[in-house]
Homo-oligomer: A and B are copies of this chain.
Amino acid sequence: MADRPRRIPEATVARLPVYLRSLLQLAGEKTGTISSERLAEMAGVNAAKVRKDLSYLGSYGTRGVGYDVEYLLFQMSRELGLTQDWPVVIVGIGNMGQALANYPGFTSRGFPIAALVDADASKVGHEVHGKRVRHIDELPDIAAEQHIAIGIIATPAHAAQDVADRLLAAGVTSILNFAPAVINVPATASLRKVDLAVELQILSFYQQQRDNEGDGAAAPAPSADAAG
């Protein structure tokens, strides 16, 4: 089998889910084929980038026609590992953890919330979103029983590294960190972070630049694509 020499750039991987969302919408509208130009418009990027990104998956387009929506959807889902469900565990059931537990977008997109855990004994036993909160010490058992590979950290900053270590020890090698703290994981694991305060501070920087316009040159268009 001629295995293509695939190694998808990180920037491309980060955009694939956005294309996927556009394709799902198109499939719902019974659109048969889509050109790179239209898909680019939907995804908020330019057409050349779409073509290059998709070319990493293979040559799934037809010159003069475009891409078959259903076929591309399937190939992209397969590439992203979305032909299976990925149960997730949420650690830290405070404001943010509860909101995440109630967020319908996870389950509907193939990431069912399999477990909620917290270190606070007063929270254990409570029900959130129909799930009973369990103690974090049970993490190894929970992860093994439910085959959990992805963990979401929604604890205060000071607990984040310890939770990450516990997740890793329990075999959870993909981590999404909401806590406002830097955490370290070995190269054999994946880590992505979402830090709300950081996002606002970045916006603040550019906002201030615009407010101060009139000094030197105008602000150099910081807008558009960012935190993916």
Contacts and interface: CB of A to CB of B under 8 A. Distances in A.
A169 interface: no
A228 B197 CA distance: 10
Contacts of A103: 95-96, 196
Interface stretch (A30-38, A119-127, A135-143, A186-194): A186-194
A196 B109 CA distance: 11
A201 B149 contact: no
A7 B200 contact: no
Contacts of A65: none
A153 interface: no
A125 B139 CA distance: 41
Interface in A159-213: 173-176, 180-208, 210-211
Contacts of A207: 81, 86, 149-150, 173-174, 190
Given A96-B103, A103-B96, A198-B18, A192 B186 contact: no
A206 B7 contact: no
Contacts of A98: 99
Interface size class of A (residues with CB under 8 A): 35 or more
Nearest to A44: B182
Contact of A198 (B86, B195, B228): B228
Contacts of A224: 185, 187, 191
A42 B98 CA distance: 29
A204 B150 contact: yes
Contacts of A29: none
Nearest to A213: B188
A158 to B, nearest CB: 10
A201 to B, nearest CB: 4
